Amino acid sequence: MEVHVQPRTRTKMFCGCAIGQLGDPPNSNVCEVCMGMPGVLPVINKAAVEACLKTALALKCEIPRHTKFDRKNYMYPDLPKGYQISQYDLPMSVNGVLELDGRQVRIRRVHLEEDTGKLIHAGDKLHKARESFVDLNRAGVPLMEIVSEPDIRSADEARDYAQALRTLLRTIGASEAEMEKGQLRAEPNISIRRYGTDDLGVKTELKNINSFRALHRAIEFEVKRQIEVVEAGGTVVQETRGWSEAEQRTFSQRSKEFAEDYRYFPEPDLPPLELDRAWIEDLRRALPELPGSRRARLISDYGLPAADAASIAADRDLADLFEAAARASGDNKRTANWVIGEVAPSGKSPTPDHLAEVVTLVATGKITRDQGREVLAESMNGGGSPSEIVAKRGLAQVSDPAAVRAAVEAVIAENPKAVQDYRAGKVRVLDFLVAQVLKRDRQIDRSLANDLLKELLS
């Protein structure tokens, strides 16, 4: 699998232009350097090198003492210099590994290069267009290319690999890695192997995949297609294939028979880099705990179930919040539930102390779970600490058994039809009755009402 990732930098790979946003006017983030004017020279962006080295370290790659940039020569109007500055035989890093739920996917290399511009064809399709326009906003945007060894064996694994990579990149702050913004682009190379043999078949390379779902579907489609070709007595052609989201199929784009000779040679405008070992060690020391080891620690230290640990460890901010809040509340499992069920979907973040307070208020029966949700939401919107909100709104759970019983009995008396239905076996009516109890008094705990209704109606 080849994955292109846009490292988090303020400026482009070889000039001072801002990275810009999707939807910026064409050619608004350009200068003479990224437009390939005569006479210009590239200068390496240190922040991009740093992001690449952090990624390499997180993937346990070897970082050679020397690295250099090379020119990949080909002509196309979206490539203003007529060559792309990339890395050929001395990449920034080699021989790493990404842990994937007990499996290891070996990483062949992680290197840096620059993105190309974009062509916009007036009219419909390329071959019908009367005019084509060139937008160079993307030209020169830094890209890390992460290349795996052929260790991925299914569409599921490919998706898991890409997601794990995304989590890793976000955890270490090397990239936002948002697939829909084009910050992470996966290009799987696919071949099939007859069961019981070691020989991989001819591979095809898939492009234009812009979501994890598309990645999964495209691979499934392509594997099935290749098997059909071989079983029908045909041979798979080495080629680049695109994924059509509309038709949910892959289609041939470019056959490797016409493969270009890129005439790689060392970029003479950029002296080879000697990577300072002390700098690399500083970067290594500054790396945060990586998702794999954090997941393991959430299981071992906090006793979380594997699935909960995985979903919390996938987001560094969530995991930090969980650990701090769990320490404050002393209730790991409930804190995890609040983090996964309430905080993560909200897209907001409470302070660990506030979350711990909510967990404790609900766990000790001071407020109901529903009230807890409201308090947490208000607190995340800047409404102050949960205990202040509870005091201000006069929230308190009615836990006096006599009061609860009075309310439940009243509801049973007022709803003879529902009661009759329930007794006749329509268990779902219970939810309606619970709702009636809470309507009488919102401070009654839902589970207490539920239990008492069941008891009285049995």
Partner 1 sequence: MSELTELTIAEAARLLRLHSISATELVTAHVEHIARVDPLVKAFLRFTPELYEKQAEEADRKLKREQGGLLTGIPVAIKDVLCVKGVETTAGSQILRGFKPPYTGTAVSRLFDEGAVMLGVTNCDEFAMGSSTENSGYFPTHNPWDLDRVPGGSSGGSAAAVAAGEAMIALGTDTGGSIRQPAAVCGVVGMKPTYGRVSRYGLIAFASSLDQIGPFARSVEDAALVLEAMAGHDPLDATSSDRPNDVRRDLDKGVKGMRLGLPREYSQVEGMEPGVNAAVREAIKALEKGGAEIVDVTLPHTDYGLAAYYIIAPAECSSNLARFDGVKYGLSVQDVDNITDMYMRARRQGFGTEVRRRIMLGTYALSSGYYDAYYLKAQKVRTLIKRDFDEAFAKCDAIVSATSPVVAFPIGSRTEDPLSMYLCDVLTLGGNLAGLPGISVPCGMSQGLPVGLQVLAPQWREDVALRVARAYEVASGVKAEVASVG
90 is a site residue for partner 1 (CB under 8 A): no
Cα-based distances in Å from 73 to 70, 81, 132, 187: 9, 9, 22, 21
Shortest CB 184 distance to partner 1, Å: 29
Q: Does 263 engage in binding with partner 1 (CB under 8 A)?
A: yes
H helix runs in 232-315, sequence order? 277-286, 291-302, 306-313
Residue 261 Cβ vs partner 1, minimum distance, rounded to whole Å: 5
Residue of 83, 221, 322, 338 interacting with partner 1 (CB under 8 A): 83
The reply on whether position 247 binds partner 1 by CB under 8 A is no
Q: Is 76 in the site for partner 1 (CB under 8 A)?
A: yes
Instruction: Give the nearest distance from C-beta 39 to partner 1 in angstroms.
Output: 4
Tokens of 332: 């790991």
Using rule CB under 8 A, residue 43 touches partner 1: yes
Q: Taking CB under 8 A as the rule, does residue 133 contact partner 1? A: no
Q: Count residues contacting partner 1 (CB under 8 A)?
A: 29
Cβ closest to partner 1, residue 28 vs residue 420 = 28
Q: CB atoms < 10 A from the CB of 331, how many?
A: 18
Residue 259 or 306 with smaller CB distance to partner 1: 259
Query: Torsion angle, CA of 100/102/105/109, rounded to 10 degrees?
Result: 80
Distance, CA of 361 to CA of 308 (rounded, Å): 22
Determine the 3-state secondary structure of 340 from DSSP: helix
Q: Between the CA of residue 37 and those of 12, 17, 42, what are the distances in Å?
A: 16, 14, 11
Q: Which of 20, 44, 297, 415 binds partner 1 (CB under 8 A)?
A: 44
Give 77 or 341: the residue with its C-beta nearer to partner 1. Answer: 77
CA distance 295 to 323: 12
Q: What would the x/- binding string for partner 1 be over residues 266 to 305, using CB under 8 A?
A: --xxxx----------------------------------
> Of the listed pieces 56-64, 71-79, 218-226, 337-345, which binds partner 1 according to CB under 8 A?
71-79
Which of positions 208-237 make contact with partner 1 (CB under 8 A)? none
- If the CB atoms of residues 44 and 457 are measured against partner 1, the closer one turns out to be 44
The two counts, helices (H) then strands (E), for the chain are 16, 16
Minimum CB distance to partner 1 smaller for 39 or for 394: 39
Question: Minimum Å distance from CB 294 to partner 1?
Answer: 39
Enter the DSSP assignment of 383.
I
Is residue 434 within 8 A of residue 456, CB to CB? The reply is: no
**Counting Cβ atoms within 10 Å, is residue 152 exposed (0-12), middle (13-18) or buried (19+)?**
buried
Give the shortest CB-81-to-partner 1 separation in angstroms: 5
Binding residue (CB under 8 A) for partner 1 from 90, 134, 202, 223: 134
Closest CB 258 distance from partner 1, rounded Å = 12
Calpha distance 170→177 (Å, rounded): 7
Nearest approach, Cβ of 31 to partner 1 (angstroms)?
9
Residue with tokens 């591979």: 203
Phi, psi values for residue 11, rounded to 5°: -125, 175
| Binding segment (CB under 8 A) for partner 1, from list 46-54, 148-156, 263-271, 429-437 | 263-271
**Residue 73 contacts partner 1 per CB under 8 A:** yes
* Residue selected from 23, 25, 38, 102 as contacting partner 1 according to rule CB under 8 A: 38
Which backbone phi and psi does 199 adopt, to 5 degrees? -85, 120
Contacts of 368 (CB under 8 A, 6+ apart): 362, 397, 442, 443, 444, 445, 446
Residue 127 or 428: the one with the smaller Cβ distance to partner 1 is 127
Query: For residue 314, what are its two tokens?
Result: 């996938």
Residue from 8, 34, 42, 158 that binds partner 1 (CB under 8 A)?
A: 42
| Binding residues for partner 1 (CB under 8 A) | 32, 35-44, 71, 73, 75-77, 80-83, 134, 261, 263-265, 268-271
